[in-house]
Amino acid sequence: MNILLWHVHGSWTTAFVQGPHTYLVPVTPGRGPDGLGRARTFTWPDSVREVTPGRLRDTPVDLVVLQRPHEWDLAERWLGGRRPGRDVPAVYLEHNAPDGDVPDTRHPCADRDDVTLVHVTHFNRLFWDNGSTRTEVIEHGIVDPGHLYTGRLARAAVVVNEPVRRGRYTGTDLLPALSEAAPLDVFGMRTEGLAGHLGVPEERCRSTDLPQSGLHAAMAERRLYLHPIRWTSLGLSLLEAMHLGMPVVALATTEAIEAVPPGAGTLSTRPEVLARAARRYLDEPEAAAEDGARARQAALERYGLKRFLDDWERVMTEVRS
């Protein structure tokens, strides 16, 4: 199949393009949001091909994977009038939990009969108002980075983009108290100056933006993975940390309670409980390694790449039949 999709979410797309198809990724001059082309910090196979809007008009497309509301019109225009869901089979992939008037937020694809709406977590499907639209859940799949965990640094790894702007959504306000329990290394985009913003010593909350090629190794050197996210979809960084063999300390919110089983870490809605768990891992590195090994096994079983690709193959076959 020729599958058209936009490069919107690098980590998710990295798993999706491991399948047996040809993946057409739009590229535009300047590589703006609607034309990023191939990833530069992720390894994608040769089956991912950049295609300009002008070439798409005459390119055979067997399936469109839509991920943002404006892509309906964008796809029809760039495909020379072929309408997703009518002239070309289509699925709409929803990466995010609803925002705004939760739990009454209606999905942009609610009550459509020309598309299958795919959520990445059961939590998201539950909280979006999907109307009568056919919905599926295809849980994340991860390209296994390997069991890299050493935990040699008595620090907690946190992965979050734009923690200052996103604030309470990402639990940024919880970091000062948690940094007293375990020094933090916060990885992600626009994390510079985070310690100053929070009013904590730099040594207790270091921040850096690493390329994907170096992120996993850096995470695996930290004793534990801290996930203080209040409201989001299930962060792929959490699943990657589990694949690395890291024990997890996380808020028991959204899909995290499904992803992290007992024995793989600590989940709670009480920050003080998370702080105690982080201190324990700093003091007991063997316990951290044991829980991390269980976290890795659980992630491989539930979020393995083969299951992910098999689930997508089933849905894509159904949509095209």
- pLDDT tens readout for residues 17-43: 999 999 999 999 999 999 999 998 889
What is the residue-wise DSSP string for 162-176?
Answer: SHHHHGGGGTGGGHH
Dihedral of the alpha carbons of 298, 300, 305, 311, in degrees to the nearest 10: -40
- 128-159 pLDDT, tens digit each: 999 999 999 999 999 999 999 999 999 999 99
* Co-location of 135 and 187 in the same domain: no
* Co-location of 239 and 314 in the same domain: no
- Mean local confidence (pLDDT), 68-92: 97
Which CATH number is 228's domain given? Answer: 3.40.50.2000
* Co-location of 89 and 126 in the same domain: yes
Residue 214 domain-assigned (yes or no)? yes
Residue 146 domain-assigned (yes or no)? no
Mean residue pLDDT across the chain = 96
- 246-276 pLDDT, tens digit each: 999 999 999 999 999 999 999 999 999 999 9
* Co-location of 102 and 164 in the same domain: no
What is the extent of the structural domain holding 169? 153-302
Residue 158 domain-assigned (yes or no)? yes
pLDDT at 314: 98
* Co-location of 56 and 176 in the same domain: no
The DSSP secondary-structure symbol of 209 reads -
The DSSP secondary-structure symbol of 105 reads P
**CB-CB contact of 88 with 79 (8 Å):** yes
* Co-location of 76 and 162 in the same domain: no
* Co-location of 281 and 314 in the same domain: no
* Co-location of 314 and 280 in the same domain: no
* Co-location of 88 and 182 in the same domain: no
Residue 190 domain-assigned (yes or no)? yes
**CB-CB contact of 232 with 171 (8 Å):** no
* Co-location of 197 and 208 in the same domain: yes
Residue 147 domain-assigned (yes or no)? no
Q: For the chain, how many structural domains are there in total? A: 2
pLDDT at 212: 82
* Co-location of 290 and 159 in the same domain: yes
Residue 163 domain-assigned (yes or no)? yes
* Co-location of 178 and 59 in the same domain: no
φ, ψ of residue 93 to 5 degrees: the values are -95, 120
